[in-house]
Chain A
Amino acid sequence: MMTCCPVGPALDAASQFAGDLAPWVITRPDGDRELDLIIPGLCAPESIPLIEGALEQVPGLAAARVNFTGKRVIATWTDPAFNPAGIVEALNELGFMSRPFDPSHSGLDADDAQSRLLLRAVAVSGFAAANIMLLSVSVWSGAEGSTRDLFHWISAGIALPTVAYAGRPFFRSAVRALSSGQFNMDVPISLAVCLAALMSLYETFNHGEVAYFDASVTLLFFLLTGRYLDHLMRARARSAVSQLLSLSASSAMVEEADGSTRIMAATALQPEMKMLVAAGERLAADGVVAAGSSEIDRSLLTGESNPEVAAKGAIVHAGMLNLTGPLTVTVTAAGKDTFLAEIIRLMASAEQSRSRFVRVADRLARIYSPAVHILAATTLAGWLFWTGGDWHSSLMTAIAVLIITCPCALGLAVPAVQAVASGVLFRNGVMIKDGAALEKLSGVDTVIFDKTGTLTLGRPRLVNGASITAASLAIAAGLARSSRHPLSRAVCEAAKARGIAPAIVEDIQEIPGRGLSGLFQGGPVRLGSRKWCGIDENDGQGLPEFVLMRNSRAASIFTFEDELRGDAAAVIAKLKDDGLRVEILSGDREAAVRRAAVALGIERWQAGVTPQQKLAYVEQLKEAGWKVLMVGDGLNDAPALAAGLTSMAPSSATDIGRTAADSIFMGESLLPVLVAREVAIATQRLSLQNFALAVGYNVFAVPIAMLGFASPLVAAVAMSTSSIIVIANSLRLGLIFRQRPASAKVQQPDVPDLAHLERRAA
């Protein structure tokens, strides 16, 4: 069910990079040149030596190193005259498509730097915590006098630089929050860590008995671990997403006034330029067809599943797929006027309305951090009153309260579960962009699906194969073999599925908008539209069709339908069983949408919906209090994806769709939608359990601290135990889904026969 290579379906012929590599080459400070390439198809570890071995054979290349985690290869060389195109060619020969990318622009570098900073802070605080804890053990076991002072001084020597170094992520965030007049979890953290360190220093100076250095540094260590896990999860998803995005970074072939051609980036296109679009390529800009004729697949833009004929004068948009013939397109729109820009504007405004969502952890922090401060202040005031102005012991007790209540377990509660959850989801073919998406997903009560490309695979399938003779199918496949038209491909697939070899057809010609013609055993054959073959047009059922003509007589009629994802019906049934409201919102024709809705048992559906209407409908549902999960793939879904409480897109979606969606699922199955929801619910349950554990610990520990019984030993043990319990509880998520894979719950063979359902509907 899960494909090993996440981007498989996203690759079409146009993905192969054919442009100039020079802009991607980085010159290092030592003069060496470096080129980073993404290899989306890299999924078998056996390929590592294969690729590195092949690249070693490229003359002039100094070194090539595969990064398997990032599906990248880094090639370096010294000679400025070396042509890096050889690298791409060598990879091509091995069967790997590759694309150059700039790590500093894709945001991966910034992510890497941030994660290294956190990891270094974890290492430093871990080292400090272990050593100070050792010294503390000596103090607790009875060191006295000058020996105790010595241990405290050494602890101070380790703790103070550690706090200054490893505490920075929290201090920065706390200062940012305070300067905007807000409280977050980092304010009490910073306060506790700093106060504990300073107070301990004061105690050490005065030969005091107790110091809180160990508590202060251990606190930092646990909190940094939580922060690092949180970051790791988001960075992994982001790198996967940026890989997908870089794949679709498109280029265009431009014809100059003098007739020469050159390849340029899609972003550099200007109006009035002439763009050459070969069959099988996606358009890089909006324009008007100036020459040539072809069929255009606009399903990603409008949801319309049938290709349309485009001849001179036809208006075409970026993102459409040119199917059958070469086109010359005059670019018309640039900048703000494109259809694309309009969609992006809608998306941006929808996203703004969504940013109001507050994560559970932050909601808790809003209550929790003032509570911590009030408790500590109350303790201080109470002790001052009780002891009659003994500042020293009052302050020590107040600090103990701050340390004990510090949201150590709270800081780990959510990131630890979410890190485990993202791993589980990744194995199930879902990439989550951030933890908030999981929280939102768990509360969803409405699922809205787009049809074309989401519920369906976005490619047609022959539905009346049983009534077509083997001979007809062989001839049709022989004709269709050379064509890129989706219906032709469906014919070939049907023939292959029945084990029929394509017949040898000669002199094949493809006429855009009509069909294919050729010679079979000397007689003319045709495969194409009813009109072109001269058959009564009113006879059809509204489904896309091909007629096979042999010797001017209609031999058979091929009927096609956009194939539903294999397990779509089972997934929808399960979602409905769980009490969710399921709807279809599609830009496709009514007949096609109705058929899909009937086949899947979805009562609520709308057809012919524009992107604006989709957005408005989702907003309307949100107003009414529904929590909407939007699942869609096309440009036309992007605003609705951004508007929904949360959203998912298949990896075959447009890059805008993938950017707008909170999570991306891979492969031909719809099951990841179900799995994601189940994992999200389990994650939410475990997070809440963790919160309960952490809060329960506080309820138990705070009175002890307020009464002044919290020795540094009690504080250190209590804090570590609560953190470890929370982490152990989080790891249960991985166990739950290992023993009982979420996918096992859906019975796969339940997929109903479409033809049968159609008869029932009629």
Chain B
Amino acid sequence: MTILLVLIPAALALGAIGLAAFLWSLRNGQFDDLDGAAHRILVDEDRPKRSTDGRD
């Protein structure tokens, strides 16, 4: 049963990484413009990309 001592923290850590990633993306404004994000993927990016600010 000692394998539990490894597996349970590993399972929890993986879950926590997912949660942290979601909270990070939420804070970063990735969920602010859902419609726009869906369309942007189809836009040809043929102009030089300039640095954007953190709000993205």
Binding site for B on A (CB under 8 A): 32, 45-46, 48-49, 53, 56, 62-63, 65-70, 74, 76, 112, 116, 119-120, 123-124, 127, 130-131, 134-135, 147, 150, 154, 158
Contacts and interface: CB of A to CB of B under 8 A. Distances in A.
Given A127-B19, A147-B4, A67 B36 contact: yes
Given A32-B53, A65-B56, A48 B26 contact: no
Contacts of A74: 55
Contacts of B26: 116, 119-120, 123
Contacts of B42: 45
Contacts of A56: 47, 50
B19 to A, nearest CB: 4
B6 interface: no
Contact of A48 (B16, B31, B39, B47): B39
Contacts of B4: 147, 150
Contacts of B18: 127
Interface residues of B, number: 31
A154 B44 CA distance: 49
B11 A123 contact: no
B43 A48 contact: yes
Contacts, number: 73
11 contacts: A45-B40, A65-B52, A66-B36, A67-B36, A68-B33, A68-B35, A69-B32, A69-B36, A74-B55, A147-B1, A147-B4
A644 to B, nearest CB: 33
Nearest to B36: A68
A63 B45 CA distance: 16
B4 to A, nearest CB: 7
Interface in B1-56: 1, 4, 8, 11-12, 15-16, 18-19, 22-23, 26, 31-36, 39-40, 42-45, 47, 50-53, 55-56
A69 B34 contact: yes
A49 B4 CA distance: 52
Contacts of B1: 147
A235 to B, nearest CB: 12
B50 A130 contact: no
A630 B31 CA distance: 37
A345 to B, nearest CB: 38
B36 A119 contact: no
Nearest to A66: B36
A62 B50 CA distance: 9
B14 to A, nearest CB: 10
A174 to B, nearest CB: 26
Nearest to A157: B12
Contacts of A62: 53
A68 B16 contact: no
Contacts of A135: 8
A158 B11 CA distance: 13
Contacts of A134: 11
B39 A76 contact: no
A45 B53 contact: no
A68 B38 CA distance: 10
A63 B47 contact: no
Contacts of B50: 56, 63
A119 B19 contact: no
A76 B33 contact: no
Contact of A63 (B11, B36, B44, B52): B52
A429 to B, nearest CB: 17
A231 to B, nearest CB: 14
B33 A70 contact: yes
Contacts of A49: 43-45, 47
A517 B26 CA distance: 63
A112 B42 CA distance: 27
Given A63-B52, A76-B53, A130 B15 contact: yes
B39 A63 contact: no
Contact of B11 (A45, A65, A131, A147): A131
A124 B22 CA distance: 10
Contacts of B22: 123
Shortest beta-carbon contacts, A-B, top 4: A68-B36, A45-B39, A127-B19, A69-B35
Contacts of A69: 32-36
